[in-house]
Each structure stands twice: as C-alpha cells, then as structure tokens.
Amino acid sequence: MYDEMAAVVRKDVARGSGAKSFDDVDIQSHGTTNVKEKGEDDDEFVKENDKQSTSSAPLESRKSRKRTCDDGLEIQNISSQMAEAAMALQKISKSKLDVDLLYQEVMKTEGFEEDFLASVFDHLVERENLAKGFLAKSNKLRKLWIEKFKENN
C-alpha cells in the first residue's frame, strides 16, 4: 500500500512499467465496524458492519518497483557529478577577466595620455594573465608596470 501511495503523492520516481497514476492504484480497505445499539428492551447488542471499498481498477497482480542499492548509488554518483560541474563553472566565472574593470583601472592611471593607456589596455586584454596580474597590483605598482611597458614599446 505504501508503494502505491508514494507513487500517487510523488514520493517515488517510478519509470516505465513501474509508473502509476490514480487509475492504476488499487485501494482496498477491509474493515469491520462495531456499532453498539440499544434495542427496544434496553438490551445492548453489537452489530457488525462489514465495509469493503474497491477502486474501479481491475484486480490483478501488479509489478511493484523494487528499490535497490544501485538506485541510491546512481543518485549519489549523479549528485557528485553535478557538484563537480557546478564547482568548475564557478572557477571559470571567477577566473574570467572583467574587461570593464580592467579598462577603468587602466584609464584612471595618471600621468599618461589617453591613447597610450588605450594601447596598454589592448595589450592587457590580449594577454589575460598579465591583465589579472595588473589588476592584483597596487596603484603604485600599476604605474611602474605601465612605465616599463612604455619603455619597451
């Protein structure tokens, strides 16, 4: 009965022939209800009322989906792969060069003409690792790096 209820309330991830819908679930309740009644001569007696409810689905033997340890291992494996993919995406996004920030930092360096700073920016964009290093430096070290770049070019 639990398997059928789990399928109905979506606690089960049944696939293929194990998937069930409301029409497939066979609900049967066998019960006896005892009702105490008083007769005309005030003698108490117990009346048994047999109730049986069945669904409109035909009674037949159904294959129920059995969970195995392999299902749990597969889920854990998929989960760990998803975590690795998420971490890789985070690393990519963190290591990606922020070109707008680089432009702002290069252009705010004082003592150089704008067209020269634009060529410094172009050079750094072409060499991503140099650009990351440039952004990591202090303003004083950035200015020294630009002066060296000017001497070499």
Give the relative orientation of helices 128-136 and 114-126 as an angle to the nearest 10 degrees.
120
Q: Are residues 36 and 71 in the same domain?
A: no
Q: Could you list the residue range(s) of the whole structural domain that residue 108 is in?
A: 99-152
Distance CA 8, CA 150 (A): 73
- pLDDT one-digit tens code per residue, 82-134: 988 888 888 777 778 889 999 999 999 999 999 999 999 999 999 999 999 99
How many structural domains is the chain composed of? 3
Q: 50: which residues sit within 8 A by CB, 6+ positions away?
A: 31, 32
Q: Are residues 4 and 44 in the same domain?
A: yes
Q: Are residues 29 and 41 in the same domain?
A: yes
pTM of the complete model beyond 0.75: no
- pLDDT one-digit tens code per residue, 44-71: 444 444 445 455 555 555 666 666 667 7
Question: Among the three residues 19, 45, 65, which one is the final residue of a domain in this structure?
Answer: 65
Q: Look at residue 117 in the predicted model and tell me its pLDDT.
A: 96
Q: Are residues 105 and 131 in the same domain?
A: yes
Three-state secondary structure call for residue 49: strand
Q: Are residues 42 and 73 in the same domain?
A: no
Q: Are residues 16 and 52 in the same domain?
A: yes
Q: Are residues 25 and 56 in the same domain?
A: yes
